[in-house]
Amino acid sequence: MTLLYIVGATLAGGLLSVLISAALTVSLLARLVKNLVSLSTGVLLGTALLQVLPEAFESKADAHGLFLALLGGLLFFFALAFFIPSTAPLVKPDGVEDQNSNDPSCN
């Protein structure tokens, strides 16, 4: 009987997610996707970091060296994301592409 509940809940959740995504408009999704990708990336990196950090302390390594490596890695990826431009065309919420896009096909 438990298996029947699991299968039913899975089907209901899948059907509900398809109905909700079909009801959302493209312009609303375009505004949400960037924020949701950022959120998921942050959650993934945060979870990975919280899993690895205790193991690094148990390895009897110097705490100052560990935090220096952590800070250096965070600053490196921040600089990488900040200074390397995106190759995707910039789309305004109304669906009009921006003229300052890096994509040559937009100009």
86: pLDDT confidence band, cut at 50, 70 and 90?
low
**Residues forming beta bridges with residue 97, ordered by sequence position:** 91
Query: Residue 43: what pLDDT?
Result: 87
16: pLDDT confidence band, cut at 50, 70 and 90?
very high
Q: Can you tell me the mean pLDDT for 71-95?
A: 73
Query: Residue 8: what pLDDT?
Result: 95
Contact in structure between 86 and 79 (CB atoms under 8 Å): no
Find the helix or strand (DSSP H, E) in which 27 lies.
Answer: helix 26-58
Contact in structure between 103 and 87 (CB atoms under 8 Å): yes
User: pLDDT digits over 42-70, tens only?
Assistant: 888 888 888 888 888 888 888 888 889 88
Contact in structure between 79 and 87 (CB atoms under 8 Å): no
Please give the Cα distance from 57 to 53 (Å, whole number): 6
Say whether 97 sits in a helix, a strand or coil: strand
41: pLDDT confidence band, cut at 50, 70 and 90?
confident
Query: Residue 3: what pLDDT?
Result: 92
| Whole-model pTM over 0.85 | no
